[in-house]
Amino acid sequence: MSRAYHHELNGSSLERGSLQLDVEGVSLRFRGVQALRGVGVQVRQGDVHAIIGPNGAGKTSLINCVSGLYRPQNGAIRLHDGGVHELTRARPSKIARWGVARSFQNIELFRHMTVLDNLLLGRHVHMRHNVASALAYFGPARRQEIAERELVEEVIDFLELQAERKRQVGTLSYGLQKRVELGRALCMQPAVLLLDEPMAGMNAEEKEDMARYVLDVNELVGVTVVLIEHDMGVVMDISHRLTVLDFGLVIAEGTPAEVAANPAVIEAYLGEAA
Amino acid sequence: MTGAADATFPQLLAGLARRHPGRVALREKRYGIWQPLTWAEHERRVRRFALGLAALGFHRGEVLAILGDNRPEWVIAELAAQALGGASVGLYPDGVVDEVHHVVDHARVRFIVAEDQEQVDKLIALREAGRLATVEHIVFYDPHGLEHYELDVLLEFTAVEELGDRLEQERPGWLDEQIALGSSGDTAVLCTTSGTTGKPKLAMLSHANLLSMASSLMALDPIDPKDEFVSFLPLAWIGEQMIALACALQTGFALSFPESAATMRSDLREIGPRVMFSPPRIWESLLSSVQVRLSDSGRLKRAVFALGYAIGERAADRRLRGKRTGVFLGLGYLLADWAALRPVRNQLGLVRLRRAYTGGAPLGPDVFRFFHAVGVNLKQIYGQTEICGIAVMHRDGDIRFNTVGLAIPGTELRIVDRGEIVLRSPAVFSGFYRNEEATAESLRDGWLYTGDAGHLDEDGHLVVIDRARDVMEAEDGSLFSPAFIENKLKFSQYVQEAVVFGGGAHPYVTAMISIDMETVGTWAEREHISYTTYTDLAQKPEVYELIGHATARANEDLPEGARIRRFVLLHKQLDADDDELTRTRKVRRRTINERYGRIVEALYADTDVVTVTSLVSYQDGTQAQREISLRIQSPDGVAPERPRRRPQLAGAGGRG
């Protein structure tokens, strides 16, 4: 009878504070362009870890390496959840199954599907039944579908998407679509959540909402969040640790206060923003 | 249902659980599905929670405060307190901390049931400021976000129920004795009066008060056990207590609680309630949603609706006077209903509605006319919290928009000095909680002095003018009611709130208007007027012109002395959080007179601009003082919005 959620959305089994994602000496080159040069980032379980830097610094490239869209030429990326997984050689689908979920800078949702269906799709990596029984909606497939829907409904409740449940994603406002994308990633019960500019293009109010949800995901659900964001105010407010990239190099790393005081950062990024 | 008036709510609940254990009592939409709770399960939860409260030391005569949106737990908590011989007091979930503090402190509340983190945070803030000295237990039922709170006073609802299970094993049968001990004269609820006149007072209403009111209401308009009711208005409001508890427990119909405020409209449609009681603002907002959608629809649809509406209006006119519609009109009405009116009702979720009530404040005649024309049997209820919310009501087939109808059975009505309405019935409360002075003022020899001015028309229908204190005298000596003029103004879909000044030292009538951001915003977009903020939009000359039309139209129906000569558009919306409105959205005249004194002065001065300083809060929490110039305009010489009352056309078609 309690209104507490039944499903644990945090997919990680690690202790808070232990090393979750270890990026070590990663270099990525596109022909003549050196996108990342020996980048190292250590993300601890339970943190909001922001990656910041000017345009073209290599932030998205780094995230793409982690989620398996790019293959770095050098270095290693290891996920420590449920044994050590080497991500640099794995297929993206495999990485997703290990618990790395992400959102994209340009919303990548199925525009003509409802919010509910998009979220259910986030459960795809966990679905076990075969095509035949799924088509017939019979036996274990049916039971699983009901269980998945239950989890998805908890995510809908958590992100307050009740009114949009049955609406087509394409008809929603930008801010809401971003929230749906966050929801879909959350439905995967991720160990690490990679958010690529979740607040880009939003007005102040939408940003505040989104920051609230990201914080809730981190604090209430306990999911580790790796966040790329341009809005320095937001980043300083919500992240535990920051890594600053400039021209593919890590130029600083530390708590928001430490980073804000770092002269190299001020020159590369904060200086021009202020 | 004999003997209901001698019972208490928990006794009635036990009866229902015995007679109809498997029938649905409460239904809540959760996780996208309507989840039912039968009468037997409902009673079981009430018992468990009551025992849990008892285990924590809740005793007879004590008051339990409940703070939250409408959920099954709200009703369960109230009934549990009553099962132990206590009373409940509902707090408005959007109330600010001061309001919560006032009620909790005044009623010496030891137990509070709060919904979720938001409400708990409010209480914790008060507690840390040392302002909740009496509170010993805060019980919450939505634990999300509260997992890491470590406070002794905090308890989850289910934990209290488990305490109850243990007590039941120790003392089986004890609770039944407690329920049997309850008498109908016990105070069941403390209801906050809306308090347009200052701090809310707590009216003590007994089980007998509430049940007698419910039986009088249902003697006129029977409610069937199979009827449906959607509970979405604050349960702290007497109107919601009236239907959702007093009527439901006597009849046994099901209550449905919507999923969230945002899904309320679609949830309403899914349930299709058969009976509804809402304050005017709900009807006004339903009307304006129809107006907005019509103005966005195509030419053909508008034409079909205009035709259907005209027929519906004519049929309604006859129906309201208790006459039959002729064969010709009857056939026309069938067609109009099928093609134009039923679809509108369907969109609003009112298709299955048999009767609808409005109460709490007067509803403009034009809004009334609209709902009757589209086939909604909307009736005015008049009554105060102190008389359980209802004393006078429209009868089916005898509805006049300018009256509130006839006294319901068991209610006596008299008009005394200075036109004040006084009432007497078994539903009249026993007094204000710990406030003898106020009790003595409104309760004399069993008569409730309402403070409202009114008169009876030739057929004995009650006409309510306004609060007696608010009635104004125009220059020519005629009496008029500001609320009446305000409602005239508010009929325009572009006007959200209006406050009218006049009488006394003021030589003529003026109005302060706040525009409806949504409708005016849509209109501005269509007219290609760009704007940034509410303040900016409100000061556009085009918007002044638009509201000028609306004001001129309101003036048409008013006697010469009561016409609005000058008006100003306010730079902000009137807000209950700023104390300008009550939680039930009635204007607090005194606050407004104090706060906007400069504007009122300017309305009567020889100036067309008034500068006000306004405190602006930015998103990042900083605040700044800003100077804003407001223009004052006169509606004289402006063409009225529409020559005739045709709400379906307002906003339709182009504007010349």
The CATH number covering residue A78 comes to 3.40.50.300
- The whole-number average pLDDT for the span A215-229 is 93
Q: Are the beta carbons of A156 and B259 closer than 8 angstroms?
A: no
At B558, phi and psi to the nearest 5?
Answer: -105, 150
Helix (H, G, I), strand (E, B) or coil at A229: coil
In the predicted structure, residue B165 carries a pLDDT above the cut 80? yes
Contacts of A116 in chain B (CB under 8 A): 32
In the predicted structure, residue B656 carries a pLDDT above the cut 70? no
Cα separation, A10 vs A220, in Å, equals 10
Residue of A nearest to B33 (CA): A153
In the predicted structure, residue B225 carries a pLDDT above the cut 50? yes
Cα separation, B110 vs B112, in Å, equals 7
Q: Would residue A56 count as lying in a domain?
A: yes
Q: Last residue of some domain: A134, A163, A189?
A: A189
Based on the domain organization, do A123 and A134 belong to the same domain?
A: yes
Contacts of A163 in chain B (CB under 8 A): 260, 262-263, 266
At B66, phi and psi to the nearest 5?
Answer: -130, 130
CA distance A215 to chain B (A): 11
Q: How confident is the model at residue B622 (pLDDT cuts 50, 70, 90)?
A: low
The pLDDT tens digits of the residues spanning A115-148 come to 999 999 988 877 776 777 777 777 778 888 888 8
Structure confidence at residue A216 (pLDDT): 92
The pLDDT tens digits of the residues spanning B230-258 come to 999 999 999 999 999 999 999 999 999 99
| Residue in B144, B157, B619 nearest the CB of A220 | B144
The pLDDT tens digits of the residues spanning A244-258 come to 999 899 999 999 999
Q: Is A158 on the interface with B (CB under 8 A)?
A: yes
Based on the domain organization, do A131 and A237 belong to the same domain?
A: no
Based on the domain organization, do A20 and A95 belong to the same domain?
A: yes
Cβ–Cβ gap A220/B161 under 8 Å: no
Based on the domain organization, do A184 and A207 belong to the same domain?
A: no
Cα separation, B624 vs B618, in Å, equals 8
Based on the domain organization, do A127 and A166 belong to the same domain?
A: yes
The pLDDT tens digits of the residues spanning B489-534 come to 887 889 989 999 987 788 889 999 999 988 898 899 888 998 888 8
Q: Is B260 on the interface with A (CB under 8 A)?
A: yes
- Chain A stretch 64-123, residues whose beta carbon is closer than 8 A to a beta carbon of chain B: 116
Contacts of A156 in chain B (CB under 8 A): 31-32
Q: Would residue B638 count as lying in a domain?
A: no
Name the burial class of residue B61, with classes exposed (0-12), middle (13-18) and buried (19+) by CB atoms within 10 angstroms of its CB.
Answer: exposed
For testing contact with chain B, the best of A5, A153, A160, A162 (most B CBs within 10 A): A162
Based on the domain organization, do A239 and A168 belong to the same domain?
A: no
Cβ–Cβ gap B260/A160 under 8 Å: yes
Contacts of B259 in chain A (CB under 8 A): 162
CA distance B129 to chain A (A): 26
Cβ–Cβ gap A3/B147 under 8 Å: no
Number of domains, chain B: 2
CATH number of the CATH domain containing B181: 3.40.50.12780
Structure confidence at residue B652 (pLDDT): 33
Based on the domain organization, do A129 and A159 belong to the same domain?
A: yes
| Residue in B45, B143, B262 nearest the CB of A3 | B143
Cβ–Cβ gap B161/A1 under 8 Å: yes
Q: Is A206 on the interface with B (CB under 8 A)?
A: no
Cβ–Cβ gap A205/B619 under 8 Å: yes
Q: Are the beta carbons of B314 and B329 closer than 8 angstroms?
A: yes
ipTM: 0.84
In the predicted structure, residue B290 carries a pLDDT above the cut 60? yes
Structure confidence at residue A269 (pLDDT): 65
Please list, in sequence order, all residues whose beta carbon lies within 8 angstroms of the beta carbon of residue B252, skipping any fewer than 6 positions away: B16, B19, B20, B23, B25, B39, B225
Q: Last residue of some domain: B230, B262, B277?
A: B277
Q: How confident is the model at residue B650 (pLDDT cuts 50, 70, 90)?
A: very low
| Residue in A2, A157, A163 nearest the CB of B156 | A2
Structure confidence at residue B473 (pLDDT): 75
Based on the domain organization, do A161 and A197 belong to the same domain?
A: no
Q: Would residue B450 count as lying in a domain?
A: no
Contacts of B622 in chain A (CB under 8 A): none
How many Cα atoms are found within 13 Å in the side-chain-facing hemisphere of A146? 7
Give the DSSP per-residue string, B352-368. Answer: T-SEEEE-SS---HHHH
Buried b (16+ CB within 10 A) or exposed e, B363-399: bbbbbbbbbbbbbbbbbbbbbbbbbbbbbbbbeeeeb
Q: Last residue of some domain: A161, A189, A217?
A: A189
Q: Would residue A4 count as lying in a domain?
A: no
How many Cα atoms are found within 13 Å in the side-chain-facing hemisphere of B610? 22
For testing contact with chain B, the best of A3, A176, A203 (most B CBs within 10 A): A3
Cα separation, B108 vs B86, in Å, equals 13
The pLDDT tens digits of the residues spanning B184-202 come to 999 999 999 866 556 789 9
- The whole-number average pLDDT for the span B379-402 is 91
For testing contact with chain A, the best of B26, B28, B29, B31 (most A CBs within 10 A): B31
Residue of B nearest to A3 (CA): B142
Q: Give the C-alpha distances (Å, rounded to integers) separating B26 from B230, B254, B424, B457.
A: 10, 6, 33, 42
Q: Last residue of some domain: A172, A189, A206?
A: A189
Q: Is B259 on the interface with A (CB under 8 A)?
A: yes
Residue whose C-alpha is closest to residue B498's, from B482, B478, B518: B482
In the predicted structure, residue B156 carries a pLDDT above the cut 90? yes
H or E segment and range at residue B271: helix B264-271
CA distance A199 to chain B (A): 15
What's the length of chain A? 274
Residues A88, A89, A92, CA angle at the centre, nearest 5°? 85
Lookup result for tokens 């306990």 = A222
| Residue in B30, B32, B145 nearest the CB of A220 | B145
| Domain membership of residue A134 as a residue range | 113-189
Based on the domain organization, do A207 and A262 belong to the same domain?
A: yes
Based on the domain organization, do A194 and A183 belong to the same domain?
A: no
Give the DSSP per-residue string, A104-167. Answer: -SS--S-TTSBHHHHHHHTTGGG--S-HHHHHHT-THHHHHHHHHHHHHHHHHHHTT-GGGTTS
Cβ–Cβ gap A153/B31 under 8 Å: yes
Q: Tokens standing for B200?
A: 């809310």
Cβ–Cβ gap B263/A163 under 8 Å: yes
Cβ–Cβ gap B266/A165 under 8 Å: no
Q: Is B142 on the interface with A (CB under 8 A)?
A: yes
Q: Would residue B435 count as lying in a domain?
A: no
Structure confidence at residue A145 (pLDDT): 84
Q: Are the beta carbons of B182 and B11 closer than 8 angstroms?
A: yes
The pLDDT tens digits of the residues spanning B549-601 come to 999 988 887 878 888 999 999 998 888 877 788 777 778 888 888 889 889 99
Q: Are the beta carbons of B67 and B104 closer than 8 angstroms?
A: no
Does B649 or B241 have the greater pLDDT score? B241
Number of domains, chain A: 2
Does B221 or B477 have the greater pLDDT score? B221
Cβ–Cβ gap A233/B620 under 8 Å: yes
CATH number of the CATH domain containing B601: 3.30.300.30
Cβ–Cβ gap A163/B161 under 8 Å: no
> Using the 8-state DSSP alphabet, how is residue B587 labeled?
B
Structure confidence at residue A28 (pLDDT): 94
Q: Is B620 on the interface with A (CB under 8 A)?
A: yes
Q: Tokens standing for B20?
A: 């109809």
- The whole-number average pLDDT for the span B32-42 is 95
Residue of A nearest to B160 (CA): A2
CA distance B145 to chain A (A): 6
Strand partners, B114: B67, B140
- The whole-number average pLDDT for the span B604-619 is 79
Based on the domain organization, do A27 and A148 belong to the same domain?
A: no
Q: Is the dihedral of CA A220, A224, A228, A232 positive or negative?
A: positive
Contacts of B142 in chain A (CB under 8 A): 3
In the predicted structure, residue B619 carries a pLDDT above the cut 60? no
In the predicted structure, residue B4 carries a pLDDT above the cut 50? yes
pLDDT mean across residues, chain A: 89
Cβ–Cβ gap A2/B158 under 8 Å: yes
Q: Would residue A154 count as lying in a domain?
A: yes
Q: Is B48 on the interface with A (CB under 8 A)?
A: no
Q: Are the beta carbons of B389 and B429 closer than 8 angstroms?
A: no
Q: Would residue B161 count as lying in a domain?
A: yes
**What Rg do the C-alpha atoms of chain B give, in angstroms?**
25
Q: Would residue A9 count as lying in a domain?
A: no
The pLDDT tens digits of the residues spanning B446-476 come to 999 998 888 888 889 998 888 777 787 777 7
Cβ–Cβ gap A162/B143 under 8 Å: no
Cα separation, B647 vs B656, in Å, equals 18
In the predicted structure, residue A219 carries a pLDDT above the cut 80? yes
Structure confidence at residue B647 (pLDDT): 42
Q: Are the beta carbons of B604 and B596 closer than 8 angstroms?
A: no
The pLDDT tens digits of the residues spanning A188-199 come to 999 999 999 998
H or E segment and range at residue B73: helix B72-83
Based on the domain organization, do A269 and A135 belong to the same domain?
A: no
Cβ–Cβ gap B619/A204 under 8 Å: yes
Q: Would residue A10 count as lying in a domain?
A: no
- The whole-number average pLDDT for the span B355-382 is 90
Residue of B nearest to A151 (CA): B31
Residue of A nearest to B115 (CA): A3
| Domain membership of residue B118 as a residue range | 4-277
Q: Would residue A106 count as lying in a domain?
A: no
Q: Are the beta carbons of B188 and B202 closer than 8 angstroms?
A: no
Q: Tokens standing for B221?
A: 């308009």
Q: Would residue A3 count as lying in a domain?
A: no
The pLDDT tens digits of the residues spanning B628-646 come to 888 888 888 777 775 434 4
Structure confidence at residue B400 (pLDDT): 87
CA distance A32 to chain B (A): 43
- The whole-number average pLDDT for the span B430-445 is 91
Residue B432: count of CB within 10 angstroms of its CB: 22
Please list, in sequence order, all residues whose beta carbon lies within 8 angstroms of the beta carbon of residue A241, skipping any fewer than 6 positions away: A43, A44, A47, A48, A49, A50, A253, A254, A255
Structure confidence at residue B363 (pLDDT): 85
Q: Last residue of some domain: B277, B296, B323?
A: B277
